[in-house]
Amino acid sequence: TGLSRPQRILKAVQKNATKGNPESVIAAIDHYCRHSEWAMNVGDEKGLILDSVVTEVNPSTALELGTYCGYSTVRIARLLSPGTKLITLEFNPDYAAIARQIIAYAGLQDKVILVEGPSGDLIPKMKQQHGIKSFDFVFLDHWKDRYVPDTKLLEECGLLRKGSVLLADNVICPGTPEYLKYVRNDPRYESRYFKSNLEYTKVEDGLEKSVFLG
């Protein structure tokens, strides 16, 4: 039945991007998804907001929930200082296999640890498996009904510290109403909404940035 959408995205990267050049990988995916077929990458518009938050936080330890093809993984990893690590979790092995190739094509494989499995099982293992004390930055972009339980899990596992920044994708479309209520009503979080558009469309979407106050 031919290639999957992630496989077609990988082909577009191999055809149009330059090996070892993350900017060209990002541009190749954005061009393909804007002009050939839509895909659920954070995209170029919300990607600029992601870039600005990552640059501001300059994390030593970062976690991404939801790798998909590795587009936001490349966006984040290209901005990390030497010696810092991005751990990214992907549930779907087919997506993970493509993401590994796209991350490697960008030359960022040494900055990224891609772990396959469900966040609910993997988050409690972060300390012992990867020697993580806490995360400076977390990008939430996986199942939208997992944003609240996984945020609570990160708190319970002591993986958030005073000043940890959570950045959540899709808080309008598809929407994460429970998560918005949680971070906006809990006094331990200082939240701000960055209005944007759903990747490659004119539909409203946005990112919610929440600082954990400890």
Residue 97: alpha-carbon gap to chain centroid: 16
- DSSP secondary structure letter of residue 174: I
The answer to whether 19 touches 51, Cβ cutoff 8 Å, is: no
The yes-or-no answer on residue 144 being catalytic is yes
Build a one-symbol-per-residue string for 136-155: x at contacts with Mg ion by CB under 5 A, - elsewhere.
-----x--------------
Build a one-symbol-per-residue string for 127-166: x at contacts with ligand 77Q by CB under 6 A, - elsewhere.
--------------xxx--x--------------------
Catalytic residue among 64, 141, 150, 208: 141
Question: Which residue reads 């944007």 in tokens?
Answer: 196
Catalytic residue among 170, 205, 208, 209: 170
Applying CB under 6 A, among 5, 24, 91, 149 the residue interacting with ligand 77Q is 91
Which CB, 22 or 70, lies closer to ligand 77Q? 70
Pairing between β-strand 204-212 and β-strand 189-197 as defined by DSSP bridges: antiparallel
The yes-or-no answer on residue 141 being catalytic is yes
Residue 193: alpha-carbon gap to chain centroid: 17
Applying CB under 5 A, among 30, 169, 205, 208 the residue interacting with Mg ion is 169
The yes-or-no answer on residue 110 being catalytic is no
Instruction: Name the binder of 163 from ligand 77Q, Mg ion, none, CB < 5-8 A by kind.
Output: none
Query: Rounded to the nearest whole angstrom, what is the least distance from the CB of residue 43 to Mg ion in the complex?
Result: 9
Q: What's the CA gap between 189 and 59, in Å, rounded?
A: 18
Which of 113, 110, 123 lies closest to 158, judged by CA? 123
Length of the chain: 214
The yes-or-no answer on residue 169 being catalytic is yes
Q: Which helix (H) or strand (E) holds 208?
A: strand 204-212
Which CB, 178 or 190, lies closer to ligand 77Q? 178
The answer to whether 46 touches 199, Cβ cutoff 8 Å, is: yes
Instruction: Point out which residues bind ligand 77Q (CB under 6 A).
Output: 40, 65-66, 89-91, 118-119, 141-143, 146, 169-170, 173-174, 198-199
Instruction: Point out which residues bind Mg ion (CB under 5 A).
Output: 141, 169-170
